[in-house]
Structure 1
Amino acid sequence: MRRAELKIGRRLLAALACWVGVSASAATAGASSASCTGAAGEKPVYLTFDTGHMEIAPLVAEVLQRHRLKATFFLANERTRTGGASLDDQWAPWWRARAAEGHLFGSHTFDHAVWAGDTKGGFKVRPTAGPEAGRTLRWTAADYCESLQQSATRFEDMTGKKMAPIFRAAGGKTSSALLAAAKSCGWEHVPWTDAGFLGDELPSDKYPNKMLLNRALRNIRSGEILLAHLGIWSREEVWAPAVLEPLIVGLRERGFCFATLRDHPRYSDWLKR
């Protein structure tokens, strides 16, 4: 076994040690679904994940299965800790299983191309993955649309299912011109809300998991779109078991339920097209 794989295994084992207690408390709280039913007085929130290095993806899947929650995943072909990429053949079965469970999927541009400015006739972008990673490129609107579609094509190749016509800009960075360009080729942007930023991409030494969990439980209100990642390079603590499951349990105790973007007032009509 390679050294990198051993390190990942030790990190996950340490994370699972704290996960056991949370999972037990979740089980005693009952296995009822935390999904919204449309009843009056419900407080919906919308859980979304962007791709990342995928180390915590199996843990995320188990938490969602246990609580019978549907989430939205935004897909880019990002570098993983094991030297591959998040949409490669190693991860295809994982995505196929999530698609079979009925989650929603959108694009995150194929090479996680971060908008860096508008130009005459297009945009400057900086991919963080793929062969052009780290370079500043000049793209036309058609180039950006092609990158969005590339993730959708790969998703269909892996799962046999169509991707929803929604996307999240890499890094959340956009301009009105970029949003208009994406919409012209059939893509609607889904940002996160301020209080929905769960902070897993923040450095662990300044923002430990307990702080992130407490902040989320304190600040999240009805209607928030929550953002997390399937692994983030800037964070040393393993986020999923320490924050995701207690967050779900804590929000349910506060009367929140988990809806999908199919039911969001801004996106529901778009997704019915």
Structure 2
Amino acid sequence: MRLAADGVRRRLLAGLLALACVPASHAAEAGCAKPLYLTFDTGHMGVAPLIAEVLARQQVLVTFFGADERTQAGDGSLGRHWAPWWRARAAEGHAFASHTLDHVYWQADVPGDPPRFRVRASAGPNQGDVQLWDAARYCRAIEQGAQRLETLTGVKALPLFRAPGGRTSPALLAAAKACGFQHVGWAPAGFLGDELPSERVSNAQLLDNALRKLRSGDILVAHLGIWSRRDPWAPTVLEPLIEGLKAKGFCFRTLREHPDHIRWNSAHAR
């Protein structure tokens, strides 16, 4: 009996030691009853260092959707200049997915067999040009974004993508799914408003709206810099928003764990 009791004690001690070795962030994730999914699309990158500092200080992991956009400094948001920044985010455990390499906006479906899409890139060699793409060409744009992120981070991008502006059609979504990519939008309350004119909507209003309206399971979207907003959102809102949401019992996960995407991620891992 004593030998059996000793065995039980040893197993209990081993279990406690194992729990002690689990990182605090993982332990928090395991008890995440009210998850939110914070995502960032690329932009001019002017606030990217500040955003990284806040996320690290608050121990929050997010999902970045990457396109190679024009930046305030360097050769593009997915260029060589920003490579160390992306590598550091990968080391911290963030997730990554494509935003189409040249930030290509869908404009309309063009009927035909097979159907085509009228698109316009806001970056890259065809910036501003309206083009007609078939499904294979659109899929290649998503894949190119994913590949560039993998090159920069050393981490496989998720089999997810976000269309610039969230603009899609059923035909476009079906084409992307056929080549292994599921689209990710955001919740209505998850639009954090950093693209809105600051003369019309103040940072204080955006913070208050988010804190009042967000609900468990929502996907949130902001950017690594918006050219048009005069009063930048991130320096004023991001940390108070995270702290306020934590105070309400919310916690943060990446889209690796989102219930609407977790099975897709597993079945279409790249």
Q: TM-score range by the shorter chain?
A: 0.7 to 0.9
Between the aligned partners of 1:82 and 1:262, the Cα distance in structure 2 is: 30
Contact 1:198/1:228 (<8 A) preserved: yes
- Match in the other structure for 2:139: 145
Contact 1:117/1:123 (<8 A) preserved: yes
- Match in the other structure for 1:39: 31
Measured after TM superposition, the shift of residue 133 of structure 1 is 1.4
Is the aligned partner of 1:84 residue 2:91? no
Measured after TM superposition, the shift of residue 122 of structure 1 is 1.3
Between the aligned partners of 1:216 and 1:130, the Cα distance in structure 2 is: 33
When structure 1 is superposed on structure 2, of 139-148 and 152-161 the one drifting more is 152-161
- Match in the other structure for 2:85: 94
User: Amino acid of the residue matched to residue 225 of structure 2?
Assistant: G
Contact 2:97/2:149 (<8 A) preserved: no
Identity of aligned residues (%): 58
Between the aligned partners of 2:56 and 2:73, the Cα distance in structure 1 is: 25
Displaced runs of 4 or more, over 6 A: none
Q: How big is each residue's C-alpha offset from its partner over 1:223-268, in whole Å with a ceiling of 9 and x where there is no partner?
A: 1100000001111112212111000000011111112212211011
Scaled by the length of structure 1, what TM-score is found? Answer: 0.85
Is the aligned partner of 1:176 residue 2:170? yes
Which of the two has higher C-alpha Rg?
A: 2
- Match in the other structure for 1:267: 261
Is the aligned partner of 1:113 residue 2:104? yes
Q: How does 1:232-251 map to 2 (within 5 A)?
A: 232-251=226-245
DSSP 3-state at the match of 1:91: helix
Contact 1:33/1:67 (<8 A) preserved: no
Between the aligned partners of 1:161 and 1:213, the Cα distance in structure 2 is: 32
Is the aligned partner of 1:157 residue 2:151? yes
Question: Unaligned regions of 5+ residues in structure 1, if any?
Answer: 1-31
User: Amino acid of the residue matched to residue 198 of structure 1?
Assistant: L
Between the aligned partners of 1:33 and 1:62, the Cα distance in structure 2 is: 16
Measured after TM superposition, the shift of residue 159 of structure 1 is 2.2
Is the aligned partner of 1:50 residue 2:41? yes
Q: What is the number of residues matched between the two proteins?
A: 241
Measured after TM superposition, the shift of residue 67 of structure 1 is 1.1
Question: Unaligned regions of 5+ residues in structure 2, if any?
Answer: 1-23
DSSP 3-state at the match of 2:155: coil
Scaled by the length of structure 2, what TM-score is found? Answer: 0.86
